[in-house]
Amino acid sequence: MRRAVWPRVLALGFRAAPRHMVAALVVWIVGAFAMSAYAVGFQQIVDGYLEHDDAEVMRGAVLTAVLFSVGWTVTVLAANIGFGLSDHVALRLLEQVAHAAATEPRLRRLEGAEYRRRLGAVRDGRVLLAAGPRHLLALFQAVLRALGIALVLGLVYPPLAALPLAAVLPVALERVAARARTAAERDLAADRTTATALLDLAASPTAAAELRVHGLGAELLRRHRAVADRGVAALRRRTARPTVLRSAGWAVYAAVFTAGLGLVVVRAADHQASVGQLLMVAAVVRRSQLVSGQAAAALGRLVSVGDVMRDYLWLRGRFAGERAPGTAPPVPSRIVHGLDLDGVGFAYDDGPPALDGVTLHVPAGSLVVLIGENGAGKSTLVKLLTGVYAPTRGRILLDGADIAGFARDDWHAAIAVTFQDFVRYELTAGQNIGVGDLPRLDDAPAAWDALRSCGDGAWARGLPDGLDTPVGRTLPGAVDLSGGQWQQLAIARGRLRDRPLLHLVDEPGAGLDPAAEEAVVGHYVRDARRRAAATGTITVLVTHRMTTAVRADLVVFLDAAGGALAGAHADLLAASPRYAELFTAQAAAYHVGEGTR
Ligand SMILES: Nc1ncnc2c1ncn2[C@@H]1O[C@H](COP(=O)(O)OP(=O)(O)OP(=O)(O)O)[C@@H](O)[C@H]1O
C-alpha cells in the first residue's frame, strides 16, 4: 500500500462516522494497554505464592482480574464499534459513487473499459474498502500492544524488550504475499468478470427461453468452468513462492521467541529471574504471537484496501470539476430562428466518427424526420441534442447560442425525449409515464392523456389497478409488460412535458403494432404543429419508416460515412440515389401507392 492513500482511508472513516472512529480509537488504546499489562498481575500471583506473600498474591489477583475483564469487555466493544464503523463507511461510499454517477452530466465519463473496470472494483470491493479505517486502527492497536509486550519483557530482562521486533520480518513477508495475491487477482479480473457474466447469463430469466431453444446452457457452463479453472491455476502459480516465503518468515519468528524463552529459563535456573517472571514471559510470548498475526492480517487486508481506494479516488476524480458553469446564459422560453448544426462531428472513445461534419439549419417549429441505415448515427445525433454528449468537433446552436453553454439541468428541463433504449422503471405503470415530468409523477389524468397518443390504452385499463399497477419484475404484485406496452409507456413519458423546445423521439414505432404506430405518428405530427405556433418547438422523429418522411417539413438523411443530407422529401428523392433506392424498396414492400411520391 502506497503511503499517500493511508490518510485518505482514515479521512474516509472520520467523515463517514467520526464518533465511531474516536470511540474505536479510545477503546482500542485501553484494550491494548489492559491486555498487555494483565500478565504483570499474573507474575505477582505466582511470585507472591512462592514467597508466601499473601498481600502480593492479592494485589496480583486484583490487578489480573481488573485488567483482564477490562481487556475482554473492551475487545468485544471494539469489535462492535469496528463493524458499525464499516457499515457507516460502506453506506457513505455507495451513496457518494452512486450520487456522483447519477448526477454526472457528461455521459462520456460513464463509459469506457477503464471506467467499467474501476467501477466494478469499487462495487465488488466496497465492503473491503469500508473496513479500511477499521484495519488501520487494528494495525495501530497491534503496534500499541507490541509496545506493551516489549515493556513487560523489558521489566524481566531489558534486552528481551527487542523480541517483538522479530515480528517485523514475517509481517513484512505477509505484506509481500498479499501484494502478490492482489496483483494476480487484478490481472485476472477480466477473466473473473467473464466468468460472472457467463453465470449470470445462464441463470437469467430474460435469457432463459433463448438459451433453451439454442441449447446453450451446458455450453455456457463449460465456458465458465474453463475460465474459472484457468483463473484458479494462475492464482496458485503466482502465489506459491510468496506463500513459502511467508511460512519461512514465521519460522524465523518462532525460533527467535523460543530462544528468548530459553534465555529466561536459563536465568530462572540461575535465580536471576523468578518463576512468576518465567510464566509471565511464557504468557506474553503467546500474546505476542496473536498480536503479530493481527498486524499481519491487517496489513494484508490494507494492501487490497489500498488498491480499491485508488480505484475509488480515480472515480471521484473523474466526476470532479467542471460541474457548474459559472454564469450560464438562460435557456430561451421559445425558439425564434431555429437550430443550427455547424460542422458537428462525434466519435465514441477512440472509434471512427459516428458523425462527421454535419452542417444543417432547422427552422423554428419544424417537424424533422431523421433517417439513415443501421449505425448511421441517428441515436448519436439525438444524444448530442440532449446535451448528454458534447460534439467532439463543431457546435450545436439554438437561435445562435451554443447549447453547450447552457446549464445542463436547465437544458434538460427544456427538452423532451423518448430514447430508443428507454428505461423500464420498476415503478407503477403511471409513474413510468410520470418520471417524464417529475412534478407530475403521480398525475393520473396527465398520464392517461399522454398514453392516449398510442391508441385507446385498453391494455392499461385491463391491468389489475390500471395505471396504479406496479410493473416489471421486482415489486410485490408487479405485472410484466410486453415490449410494445413498455414502449407505449416510454412514448407517453416523452410526451408529458407540455412545452419543450426540442421534442426528440428515437424510433417510437419499433415495437408497436401498425395501429398504435399510426396513432403515435399522427399525434407527433399534430403536437408538432401545435407547439410550432406556441413555442417554435422543433420535433425530431427518428424512424426507419420512410413513408413518415412525406409528412415532415425537413428530412435529414444520415449516410454511412457520418455525413448528412437535408431537404424536403421530394428534394432528397431527386438528390440522393441511395435515399430514393431505400424509399422505393420500402414503398414497394408496404404497397405504398405512387401518389405518395
Ligand atoms: N456507446 C457507444 N460506444 C461506442 N460506439 C457506439 C456507441 N453507441 C453507438 N456507437 C457506434 O456509433 C455508430 C452510430 O450508432 P447509432 O446508435 O447512433 O446509430 P443509429 O443510426 O441510431 O443506428 P440504428 O438504426 O441501428 O439504431 C455505430 O457505428 C455504433 O457502433
pTM: 0.71
Residue 401's DSSP bridge partners are: 398
pLDDT per residue, tens digit, the chain (597 aa), is 455 788 888 888 888 889 988 998 888 888 878 877 777 888 888 888 888 888 998 998 898 888 888 888 888 888 888 888 888 888 888 788 788 777 776 777 777 778 888 888 888 888 888 888 888 888 888 888 888 889 888 988 999 999 888 888 988 898 888 889 888 888 888 888 888 889 889 888 888 888 888 888 889 999 999 999 998 999 899 889 988 998 999 999 999 988 998 998 999 899 898 888 888 888 888 888 888 888 888 888 888 888 889 888 888 887 766 545 567 788 999 999 999 999 999 998 778 899 998 999 999 999 999 999 888 999 999 999 999 888 999 999 999 999 999 988 899 999 999 998 899 999 999 999 999 999 889 999 999 999 988 877 889 999 999 999 999 988 888 999 998 899 999 999 998 988 899 999 998 877 777 777 888 888 888 888 888 888 999 999 998 888 888 889 999 999 887 788 899 999 999 988 888 988 888 777 665 444 444
Dist CA 145 CA 103 (whole Å) = 46
Ligand 1 and 148: CB distance under 6 A: no
Dist CA 446 CA 444 (whole Å) = 5
List domains and CATH numbers for the chain.
5-182+250-319 (1.20.1560.10)
Ligand 1 and 543: CB distance under 6 A: no
In testing the pocket of ligand 1, which one of 115, 380, 418, 504 has its CB within 8 Å of the most ligand atoms? 380
Query: Which set of grid coordinates corresponds to residue 112?
Result: 469506457
> Is ipTM beyond 0.90?
yes
Edge to edge, the sheet with strand 393-398 lists 353-363, 338-347, 393-398, 401-402
Q: Residue 78 to residues 30, 410, 515, 592: CA-CA distances in angstroms? A: 10, 49, 67, 78
Dist CA 586 CA 201 (whole Å) = 37
Nearest CA to ligand 1 atom 26: 374
Strands in 348-487 per DSSP E = 353-363, 367-372, 393-398, 401-402, 415-418
Nearest CA to ligand 1 atom 16: 377
DSSP 534: H
Q: Residue 128 to residues 300, 309, 448, 564: CA-CA distances in angstroms? A: 12, 10, 47, 51
Give 506 Cα–ligand 1 centroid separation in angstroms.
Answer: 12
Phi then psi for residue 457, to 5 deg, are: 65, 25
